[in-house]
Amino acid sequence: MAGRVEGKVAFITGAARGQGRSHALRLAEEGADIIAVDVCEAVPGTPYAGATPEDLAETVRQVEALDRRIVAEQADVRDLDRLHEVVSRGVAELGRLDIVVANAGIDILGSWRDITPQIMRDTIDINLIGVWNTVMASVEHLVDGGGGSVVMTSSANGLKAGPFNIAYNASKYGVVALMKSFAMELAKEKVRVNSVHPGAVDTPMAQGAMPMFDEFERENPDLTGMFTQWIPGVMPPREISNAVLFLASDESTWVTGSTYAVDGGLSSY
Ligand SMILES: NC(=O)c1ccc[n+]([C@@H]2O[C@H](COP(=O)([O-])OP(=O)(O)OC[C@H]3O[C@@H](n4cnc5c(N)ncnc54)[C@H](O)[C@@H]3O)[C@@H](O)[C@H]2O)c1
């Protein structure tokens, strides 16, 4: 039986680990080849360890174990020229591009007094301008190929701001504006653009942020109560990958400009 994205090629940012790796594997399981990038180093200020070149190599190994092809390069989503370079190489090698998953991101939590200009700039540069760069470096290939799907990773924080996350909230609401803007203009090219909005996902990012959030929660129960999931617990990344797969596939041909929450109800009230 043909896979749900059989014969397609997907460009995924932040693919060394966490949700990005999971998206690469889920799409590869369903027949896609992959172009993967990751910065493979810690971004200063993030309360968790950075991904490594070995992590990206492990993504390559796992995609190849599924008998799919992958072009993987170390690249920073803040560097538009570098993204152009990697995407061009990937398309030359794999023959086409159909799917773009702008997933790379960082989260630097803190109360409003702790958020520095540097944190604001780094977060907007990676989480928002990095998503714009990702689309700008790749979407022409989708247009040339007659259409495709772009999926941007926002967050439940991009639908309902979470406490102690000013820079992150601003960047993730910004992703929704990017998504809707690109969706409008690209519809006539048969390129669909949607955003996914994860709740807490079991990745190094959430593992690093949770202890800080627990501390804020103890000190500010009135605020953190507003940020409660109806389904308790922390999701495995595959839950988000299943949403990405649907949005990337031809099963969602009429879905564009939409915000797709996978958050156990967290953003719903
Ligand atoms: N984990 C959660 O609970 C959660 C919830 C909502 C949204 N998100 C979003 O999901 C996405 C994936 O995060 P994750 O949970 O897999 O975390 P993660 O930290 O495990 O993975 C993020 C990946 O992005 C890469 N990255 C960071 N900055 C980069 C840059 N400048 N250029 C290229 N790559 C870069 C990292 O190296 C890492 O491999 C992020 O956009 C994040 O904001 C995560």
What total of structural domains would you count in the chain?
Answer: 1
What average pLDDT does this structure show over 6-22? 98
Q: 227 pLDDT band (50/70/90 cuts)?
A: confident
Contact between 194 and 257 (Cβ < 8 Å) = yes
Would residue 164 count as lying in a domain?
yes
C-alpha of residue 104 to centroid of ligand 1, in Å: 5
Distance CA(35)–CA(48), nearest Å, equals 25
Would residue 2 count as lying in a domain?
no
C-alpha of residue 18 to centroid of ligand 1, in Å: 7
What atom of ligand 1 comes closest to residue 204's alpha carbon?
Answer: 20
Q: What is the pLDDT of residues 167-192, one digit of tens each?
A: 999 999 999 999 999 999 999 999 99
DSSP characters over 135-149: HHTTHHHHHHTT-EE
Out of 180-184, 206-210, 231-235, least confident range: 206-210
Task: Give the residue whose CA is nearest to atom 8 of ligand 1.
Answer: 155
DSSP 8-state secondary structure symbol assigned to residue 55? H
Would residue 4 count as lying in a domain?
no
Residue 168 known to be catalytic: yes
Distance CA(78)–CA(136), nearest Å, equals 12
User: Is the minimum distance from the CB of 36 to ligand 1 under 6 angstroms?
Assistant: no
Say which CATH number the domain at 100 has.
Answer: 3.40.50.720
User: Is the minimum distance from the CB of 154 to ligand 1 under 6 angstroms?
Assistant: no
Would residue 172 count as lying in a domain?
yes
Q: What is the pLDDT of residues 68-110, one digit of tens each?
A: 999 999 999 999 999 999 999 999 999 999 999 999 999 999 9
What atom of ligand 1 comes closest to residue 51's alpha carbon?
Answer: 37
The side-by-side arrangement of strands in the sheet containing 191-198 is 70-74, 33-38, 9-13, 99-102, 148-153, 191-198, 259-262
DSSP characters over 223-246: HHGGG--SS-S-B-THHHHHHHHH
Would residue 246 count as lying in a domain?
yes
Would residue 242 count as lying in a domain?
yes
Pocket test for ligand 1, best of 205, 212, 227, 239 (most atoms within 8 A of CB): 205
Distance CA(83)–CA(138), nearest Å, equals 8
- Catalytic member of 48, 168, 173, 269: 168
Closest CA to 239 of 16, 23, 12, 2: 23
Q: What is the pLDDT of residues 234-243, one digit of tens each?
A: 999 999 999 9
Would residue 267 count as lying in a domain?
no
Query: What domain range includes position 123?
Result: 9-262
C-alpha of residue 225 to centroid of ligand 1, in Å: 25
Distance CA(256)–CA(187), nearest Å, equals 8
DSSP-derived 3-state class of residue 154: coil
What atom of ligand 1 comes closest to residue 126's alpha carbon?
Answer: 31
Closest CA to 28 of 69, 89, 73: 69
Q: What element of type H or E holds 166?
A: helix 166-186
18: pLDDT strictly greater than 80: yes
User: Is the minimum distance from the CB of 206 to ligand 1 under 6 angstroms?
Assistant: yes
Q: What is the residue type of 160?
A: K
Contact between 5 and 34 (Cβ < 8 Å) = no
122: pLDDT strictly greater than 80: yes
Q: What is the pLDDT of residues 32-45, one digit of tens each?
A: 999 999 999 999 99
226: pLDDT strictly greater than 80: no
Would residue 268 count as lying in a domain?
no
pTM assigned to the model = 0.98
Start-to-end CA distance of the chain, whole Å, equals: 41
Please tell me the predicted confidence (pLDDT) of residue 214. Answer: 82
Distance CA(46)–CA(23), nearest Å, equals 22
Q: What element of type H or E holds 153?
A: strand 148-153
268: pLDDT strictly greater than 80: yes
Q: What are 211's two structure tokens? A: 């202890």
